[in-house]
Amino acid sequence: METRSFAEYLRALDDEALLSLFALRPDLVSPVPPEMSSLGIRASSAPSLARAVDSLNEWQFQVLEACAALTEPFTEKAVIALTDTSAKFVIPILLDLALIYGDSKAFWFPNSLREVLGNEPAGLGPSSMAKLSMAKLEEAPESSKKVLERLTWGPPRGSVGDIRNPGPGIAWLLKENFLIPLDQRTVVLPREVALNLRGGKVHKNPQPNPPLLTGTSNKEAVVDRAAIANIATVLRWSEEILNFWSEEAPSSLRAGGLGVRDLKAAAEHLGVDENCAAFIAEIVFLAGLVVIDADDRILPTHAFDLWLTQDHETRWRTLASLWMITSRVSGLVGRADSKHISALGPELDRVNAASARKLALGILSANPYLTPEIESFLSLNKWRAPSRRSSTLQPELVQWTLREAEWLGITGQGALSKYGKRFLAADDVLGISEDLPKPVDHILLQSDNTAIAPGPLEIEVARILDSIADIESRGGATVYRFSEASIRRGLDHGKTGDEIREFLRKTSKTPMPQPLEYLIADVAKRHGRLRVGNTTAYIRCEDPSIITQILSDRKVEGLGLRRIAPEVLVCEHEANELIATLREAGYMPAAESGSGILLSGPKLNRAKSRPRPPRIIGEIESPTPETLSAAVRAIRAGERSSKKQTSLRDVAAKALGSLPRTTANETLDILNKFIAEQRTLSIGYADNNGSATHRIIDPLSISAGSLLARDHGTGEVQSFRIPRITGVAPL
């Protein structure tokens, strides 16, 4: 029997077919539709169909375009004639996706699918309304044949100067109905003519098989060594950028996000380019380790301190898991045509970002330990997903995915590592903590005011060393450099000169060089002699000669300093600005409170705001088998309820004809009786406008002049005012 209604086709599917459909198109049960009619409307809607079309590969998409070139209903034989014999294996897939429906004899398209595919699928124009004689194409003039050659493989539209005087070639084609005039300047090639000229095939280059992926094979050990190094590096980058922002919190832009200068400063601090810095900023933002607080400052959160206490594998899995599912694309930062897009900003979401990552990593997973050539990889990726939304961005999304997967350590040397493979398989143990170098608790002091950390340092050692030294180079071993500014920073953090020397002697496996000891002693001696506080701001120093020196120093002329006492200067600038300017001029000021207490201590600047990770805009996640089974049961139950309601309405309409009429006493008697018997009845009920309608209800109770009953029309329990009930009648 021919099936013409899409809803009727869905109703005829068994539970197994519905489960398969929902697994392939999870948006159909998000949320679960109440019954089959609603499911049919959702499944034939343009957004849902577009998602389904995006799941097709190149060959499946070409077969679907061939189906669109046929008049409904069409047959499997007709589709194969326009494509290839292998199309018969694609048709069941299109049926499973409900992109076509029907039986073995005839197929139809759901509503809106032609709209999703466009008016000219595969470059084919509309069907001709006139009767055509294809044999006359052999008689076409040379000028007409040239026009046909240009239009044969699409696009089928062409422009003419004036349809009334188009030239001899086009005039002949118009006369024989081989071209259709659309307006005064446009003609289109009919579908039948194009298919004839194409030799009865829809596509010039059918792609039933995927292109081969080429690249360089790597040894497993080489890939895994590179990957574990990348994992250690990305964890260190994440920690360093957050410690850096704890020291020097950048301000967010008015529109939200990280400014160009602050991004550049972070990149210089990490020793990476700005693209990598934007990526690191984004993943710590996704993890809630940093937040833009109420004062528009970008600060680490207390979640960062908790994150540091976790083992390396847990820390890495947190970052990698969020990267896999996020819709934010850090690669857009700094792109030539994306000047107004900033890291941590609101403009980074792209709906197909997560699906692009999943597809790219899936290809790598199917080709273990192969570093693919980028052109080959892009070709295969395009074959796997030819109709992605934002297709112009797709090649860049793929390249950004490969780059970021390498930064994260999912890949090593461009090939999927064992850690990436286990991560994609959702294994409980990835082996990262065991393979990462064990943290060390010592450093090696050098005679040139540097220290070498021969491996990743323990958290407390690294935190103290970061406060008194600057990272000069990174790698398997990290080189720290001590300077006047770094020692002053440690003193600002509450360390004394003696405590810094004691820490270095205790931590270093080599003796402390004398130049470093002198540097610490000199900076500690000068630190705090000059004090800065808020008046707006003042400078206080027990040595009047230093005050005199500052007043005559041209480097600080812009501060507008005024002497109010031999040992005190004041100005209109804030204390933080004043301290920064004096330090740039070579002085060593320290901050003090209004009561004269030196403000020095550990500075773990943390945001007071709770983490607010950005929401994910993207594809709907695949539900579990249990969820799908529950959805099928709910739809079946809703369908049975809908049929029951319809039959009850029909019975009521036939039995009553008009609205029931009973007196007030009869109404109450019948209601009380049916409440006791828990039976269904029909009532006439007047709404606020005075219009009376039939209602089919299950009466529950009467209280305070109102009837509480479940309305079959809505399926909800409602209250009905008894004076508005025109009458009641049993069904």
Q: pLDDT digit string (tens) for 261-271?
A: 999 999 998 88
Q: Are 359 and 385 in contact (CB under 8 A)?
A: yes
Q: Are 408 and 230 in contact (CB under 8 A)?
A: yes
Q: What is the mean pLDDT of residues 305-319?
A: 91
- Which two tokens mark 21? 């459909």
Q: Give me the pLDDT at residue 276, please.
A: 94
Give the integer Cα–Cα distance in Å for 454 and 477: 5
224-233, 328-337, 609-618, 693-702: least confident range: 609-618
Q: At how many degrees (to 10) do helices 312-325 and 394-408 cross?
A: 180
Q: Are 283 and 203 in contact (CB under 8 A)?
A: no
SS3 666: helix
Q: What is the pTM of this model?
A: 0.72
pLDDT tens, residue by residue, 343-394: 888 888 888 888 889 999 999 999 989 999 999 999 999 999 886 655 678 8
Cβ burial of 20 (10 Å; 0-12, 13-18, 19+) is middle
Q: Give me the pLDDT at residue 604, please.
A: 59
Give the integer Cα–Cα distance in Å for 166 and 145: 15
SS3 344: coil
Q: Give me the pLDDT at residue 596, please.
A: 66
Q: Give me the pLDDT at residue 139, please.
A: 84
Q: In this model, does residue 600 exceed pLDDT 60?
A: no
Q: Give me the pLDDT at residue 60, please.
A: 93
Range ranked top by mean pLDDT from 252-261, 630-639, 650-659: 252-261
Q: Which long-range contacts (CB under 8 A, 24 or more apart) does 659-662 make?
A: 659/684, 659/692, 659/693, 659/694, 659/726, 659/727, 660/684, 660/726, 660/727, 660/728, 660/729, 661/726, 661/727, 662/727, 662/728, 662/729
Give the integer Cα–Cα distance in Å for 625 and 630: 9
Q: Give me the pLDDT at residue 6, please.
A: 86
pLDDT class for 619, splitting at 50, 70, 90?
Answer: low
Q: Give me the pLDDT at residue 92, please.
A: 92
Q: In this model, does residue 595 exceed pLDDT 70?
A: no
Q: CA-based Rg of the chain, rounded to a whole angstrom?
A: 37
Identity of residue 227: A
pLDDT tens, residue by residue, 143-191: 888 888 888 887 888 888 778 788 888 888 888 888 888 888 888 898 8
Q: How many CA atoms lie within 13 A of 258 on its CB side?
A: 30
Q: Give me the pLDDT at residue 47, please.
A: 87
Give the integer Cα–Cα distance in Å for 357 and 363: 10
Q: Are 380 and 365 in contact (CB under 8 A)?
A: no
Q: Give me the pLDDT at residue 656, please.
A: 47
pLDDT tens, residue by residue, 673-683: 888 888 888 88
**694: Cβ contacts below 8 Å, ≥ 6 apart:** 649, 652, 653, 656, 659, 682, 683, 684
Q: How far is CA 188 from CA 65, 66, 177, in A?
A: 19, 19, 10
- Which two tokens mark 351? 């709906």
pLDDT tens, residue by residue, 395-448: 899 999 999 999 999 999 999 999 999 999 989 999 998 888 788 888 899 889
